[in-house]
């Protein structure tokens, strides 16, 4: 094998063989194939696509580049969830303990935020003492004791994907659906879960801007999971508007605890319950009722046990930003649009996110939204409150919010977009 012939095959719209894929992924992981050569191949894939068999083989080769976890020793069936990322997307926090409270085990390997999208680990690290880095043995121990664990993926899972992900980010090849799907699914399959539910976001605050692209990505990933023996299904969900009433790390933890206590924003509760039902059905618990586990306190009990098991204090006061600035409603009427991307960008500029993976984040930074599309608003009342430790960032954040919302006259008919748009199995 040689890398030039592999690049030429895909450049000329050919189909890569299993042998070519296995060789190039292994050689790139070992450093035999240079970054510039893999960049050329990634661009050829972006431009010319891949067949289902090619994507399955590519995903399998990335899985084979590292270890594969095994939860066969657990007494429970395992179920996991992956979101393609959005603004205010704190769903994993209440979802994992909720599903555990209903009988499944949830081994949730999560990531950090980058750009306008938040990261689950960043949110949880605002809890004093909580730690994301667990060994495989520690992860298994938390799962046995509490039924759910949310932690960082170890270096041994799909190392080929780690190299390729970083390369795609700087070579304009992030948008390739075959590469997105294989990146996500190689890690999730290597994680060893028995079933997987995908939350594929679509809208201004999501990676996928069109319903057709979101459907293609969801269908590709569901096929990959099932081809590799993981029971997989997907929900396509709206991300034109931020989820819930907050975007920011500690702010979102507070809101998640409200959901676990039986309250919280209606959209967060709806999506949490929808994903929980999908996970439980896939894991073999079709008759479980997650709404009861929220109402009777079992989900909250599992949350507290999970946080304590990872060194955190679920009763501790969460960090708050030192400075706040409130944006007032300019005119009375009905809020008809609140752009998710603009809110995520503003939260990032306030310090809630990072531009590079190594950048720090402010635990208390972010945005509170006092109204959502469909709500009546009154001139002079708060629309959004900005939080940061660095008040010089307020003006920069407000620039991102210019034109981010629309207010129509009172009496205007307005239909709220449903959270769950489609189901893919």
Which residues does the annotation mark as catalytic?
82, 161, 168, 183, 187
106 DSSP β-pair partners: 148
Torsion angle of the four alpha carbons 57, 60, 62, 63, in this order, in degrees rounded to the nearest 10: 180
State how far the Cα of 159 lies from the Cα of 31, in Å rounded to an integer. Answer: 12
Q: 116: which 2 tokens?
A: 């306008």
CA distances from 333 to 240, 367, 382, 414 (A): 20, 22, 14, 12
Cβ neighbors of 412 (< 8 A, separation 6 or more) are 333, 334, 336
Cβ neighbors of 387 (< 8 A, separation 6 or more) are 248, 251, 320, 321, 323, 324, 350, 364, 365, 366, 367, 368
Contact 248, 344 (CB under 8 A): no
Distance from CA of residue 200 to its chain's centroid? Answer: 9
Task: Give the count of alpha carbons within 13 A of 362, CB side only.
Answer: 23
Q: 207: which 2 tokens?
A: 């990676």
Q: Label residue 53 exposed, middle or buried (CB < 10 Å: 0-12, 13-18, 19+).
A: middle
Q: 423: which 2 tokens?
A: 């189901």
CA distances from 232 to 59, 96, 381 (A): 15, 17, 45
CA distances from 111 to 29, 73, 118, 120, 152 (A): 21, 25, 9, 6, 6
150 DSSP β-pair partners: 108
């Amino acid at each position: 094998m040689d890398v030039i012939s592999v690049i030429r095959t895909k450049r000329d719209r050919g189909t890569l063989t299993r042998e070519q894929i296995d060789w190039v992924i292994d050689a790139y992981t070992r450093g035999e194939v240079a970054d510039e050569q893999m960049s050329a191949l990634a661009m050829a894939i972006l431009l010319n696509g891949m067949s289902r068999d090619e994507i399955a083989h590519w995903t399998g080769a990335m899985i084979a580049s590292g270890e594969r976890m095994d939860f066969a020793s657990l007494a429970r069936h395992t179920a996991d969830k992956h979101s393609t990322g959005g603004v205010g997307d704190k769903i994993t926090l209440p979802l994992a303990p909720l599903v555990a409270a209903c009988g499944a085990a949830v081994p949730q390997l999560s990531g950090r935020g980058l750009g306008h999208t938040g990261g689950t680990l960043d949110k949880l690290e605002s809890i004093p003492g909580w730690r994301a880095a667990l060994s495989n043995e520690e992860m298994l121990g938390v799962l046995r004791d509490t039924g759910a664990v949310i932690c960082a993926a170890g270096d041994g899972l799909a190392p080929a994907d780690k190299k390729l992900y970083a390369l795609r980010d700087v070579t304009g090849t992030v948008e390739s659906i075959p590469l997105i799907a294989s990146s996500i699914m190689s890690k999730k399959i290597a994680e060893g879960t028995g079933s997987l539910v995908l939350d594929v976001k679509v809208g201004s605050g999501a990676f996928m801007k069109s319903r057709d692209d979101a459907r293609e990505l969801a269908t590709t990933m569901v096929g990959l999971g099932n081809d590799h023996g993981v029971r997989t299904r997907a929900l396509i969900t709206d991300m034109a508007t931020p989820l819930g009433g907050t975007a920011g790390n500690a702010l979102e933890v507070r809101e998640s605890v409200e959901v676990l206590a039986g309250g919280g924003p209606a959209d967060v509760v709806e999506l949490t319950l929808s994903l929980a039902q999908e996970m439980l059905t896939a894991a073999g618990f079709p008759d479980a009722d997650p709404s009861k586990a929220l109402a009777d306190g079992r989900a909250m009990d599992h949350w507290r046990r999970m946080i304590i098991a990872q060194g955190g204090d679920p009763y501790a006061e969460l960090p708050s930003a030192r400075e706040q600035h409130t944006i007032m409603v300019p005119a009375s009427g009905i809020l008809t649009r609140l752009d998710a991307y603009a809110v995520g960008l503003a939260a990032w500029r306030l310090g809630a996110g990072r531009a590079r993976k190594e950048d720090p984040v402010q635990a208390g930074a972010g945005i509170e939204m006092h109204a959502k599309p469909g709500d009546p608003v009154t001139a002079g009342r708060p629309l959004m409150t900005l939080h940061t430790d660095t008040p010089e960032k307020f003006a920069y954040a407000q620039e991102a919010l210019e034109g981010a919302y629309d207010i129509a006259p009172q009496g205007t008919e307005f239909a709220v977009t449903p959270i769950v748009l489609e189901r893919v199995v």
